[in-house]
Chains A and B, each alone.
Chain A
């Protein structure tokens, strides 16, 4: 087995908490963050459950000490909060001391403000500051500026697998010696755009989602931001850093089946998991826990279950989806679940797949339904998205 790339810091803001510690407590006490929306004004408000971050935009702007005329979108605000916690957690005092990059993922970018002011852009000068904050790269640039990162900065947008790909790229760049240190993760705020998009696909659940359940009725959307700090062995040695865990493997494949639906055979997911195991030099039997993509849509959970059966054969490791805690946080999901996977390793804990009652008849698979303690060495995390994008990450002690 290969050691992988060291993770020395992490930060997160999600529906279950505004810090790593708060998220951990919610996971350990099986407390979901889903509910009726408080901040986002949508017609579907009472018909759906979502995973919203507690802070208002103004509250975050105050915390970040932004001027009143700032043009930060909620995606940027959430991103800055989580990325700052990650840097702090990694004990980084000086960014410029090492060649440092930032790779952030987002799908909606500045859509939360764009949709608010779209019909005013032409006539209302006050609203026009949000024109340049629409594109996906804007939130990343703002996070980079708030951290003082000026070197390699980029944004990945592969729908719901985005952050997993950001973590993967960061690990590859550090491994290749192109960067000494890189902040990787993703951020997505809730928007009417995505709520109505998923609504039109008829895959939004009216109740808290129940991943992998036979009677699952769709997903809950959520908003979140999460980042990891990856550092080279040289930096870790030179600064005598404590390592939280390692990114030991990664795989990216395309399902090449349909623009939005996953194939019946879970081909893309299977290939992504297979590649990740190969990169890590691990046998499938060495995986102790799987943090599944598990969105609770009919299509995803069946396809992913079949992919799990294909890769692990009869010996499927303990698995659960944490989507019923946070909602599906789209581009951020891969990073949110990376943080959860690392916490799982640190605490030797497997988190509950909330809401599960009945195994689906096609596979009979039963996830971890209550918090469970077990010595964990290797955790696998899946993220799949529109466009057939499938990515898998492996985290090891």
Chain B
């Protein structure tokens, strides 16, 4: 079975993660219930003629994919695999509002064509003239991880050498307001902003100079009872022959809601002394937000220093060789990702 190397990871988020520095120096603080990503100058990546028609999701996806391929030194990937929880929300809203407000008359196809979940992967393929394997996952908070599972499977089986993998979600205009409205009625609602972003990476079967890290394992579990999270995580680590004490950092998906208890239990019971990091406080919550944790994990292993705000707990400086990512949404859609040094 081949090793799955990570050759590049880039992330567009509500922080300056997509800047030329390749890392974040200063943290932006937010208090709004809804925040946009820090959008890069897209004209640096996409011809103006195409840019006009593109929704934020497509712009983020195309720009992030270009940078990921460039950093990974890949021109034509052997597969393009994306994940998006809500797909192209902006065009979905546009088409829906037009048809409802005009009583199903005068609908034009542009927004409809661009509303499908696979628009981003399709546009990337079109731009690259890439006829390879192409697919899109749309399963809430494991959309990005589903793409990772597929890619890892192909690389381990030797079916593909270089794979472009990404996760992207956009805010749109009104649906997020409704999500927020309902969320506020919960006993302990999500405490972080609702947001958007895109994380893209190149995974490869080749160990080459400049490889960032190894994607050792990725697993998805639809449901885990609160009392079973410790055992499940233990089993996951055991399967991958890693002891909890060997984990140098755990990146957690805390968003402040009642289900943060999953993270707290892990932190206290399984990783009482390990460095723990969080990110949703700074990049917001969205279905592919965990892609940002993947970027953080890669940053840690590459030796970048992440701002201290991200650390829930930090020991003295040390190299990060093994990083664990854990995320869930409302007690469902759990993902475990294990990254190691090359």
A-side residues, CB < 8 A to B, are 42-44, 102, 106-107, 109, 114-115, 118-119, 121-122, 128, 131-132, 134-138, 140-141, 144-145, 149-159, 165, 169, 172-173, 176, 178, 192-193, 196-197, 199-201, 252-260, 267-268, 271, 385-389
Contacts and interface: CB of A to CB of B under 8 A. Distances in A.
B95 A158 contact: no
B110 to A, nearest CB: 9
Contacts of A271: 131
15 contacts: A118-B96, A119-B100, A128-B178, A154-B146, A156-B138, A157-B136, A193-B96, A196-B95, A196-B104, A259-B123, A268-B131, A387-B116, A387-B119, A387-B123, A389-B118
B220 to A, nearest CB: 5
Interface in B92-123: 92, 95-97, 99-100, 103-105, 107-109, 112-119, 121-123
B87 interface: yes
A256 B103 contact: no
- Point out which of A140, A178, A197 has the most chain B C-beta atoms below 10 A from its C-beta: A197
B261 interface: no
Main secondary structure of the interface of A (DSSP, over half): mixed
Contacts of B133: 252-254
A299 to B, nearest CB: 13
For chain B, the bracket of interface size reads 35 or more
Contacts, number: 200
A256 B116 contact: no
B136 A259 contact: no
Nearest to A121: B178
B135 interface: yes
B90 to A, nearest CB: 14
A122 B86 CA distance: 19
9 A-B pairs with least C-beta separation: A387-B122, A197-B112, A157-B117, A153-B222, A136-B138, A137-B140, A155-B139, A137-B139, A157-B138
A149 B222 contact: yes
B242 interface: no
Contacts of B332: 141
Given A155-B139, A386-B118, 9 more contacts: A115-B100, A118-B97, A141-B140, A145-B223, A152-B220, A158-B118, A197-B113, A260-B109, A389-B135
B96 A115 contact: yes
A201 B337 CA distance: 42
Contacts of A107: 116-117
B129 interface: yes
Contact of B333 (A115, A137, A172): A137
B125 A197 contact: no
Contacts of B177: 122
- Point out which of A137, A140, A145 has the most chain B C-beta atoms below 10 A from its C-beta: A137
Contacts of B105: 43
- Point out which of B103, B126, B219 has the most chain A C-beta atoms below 10 A from its C-beta: B126
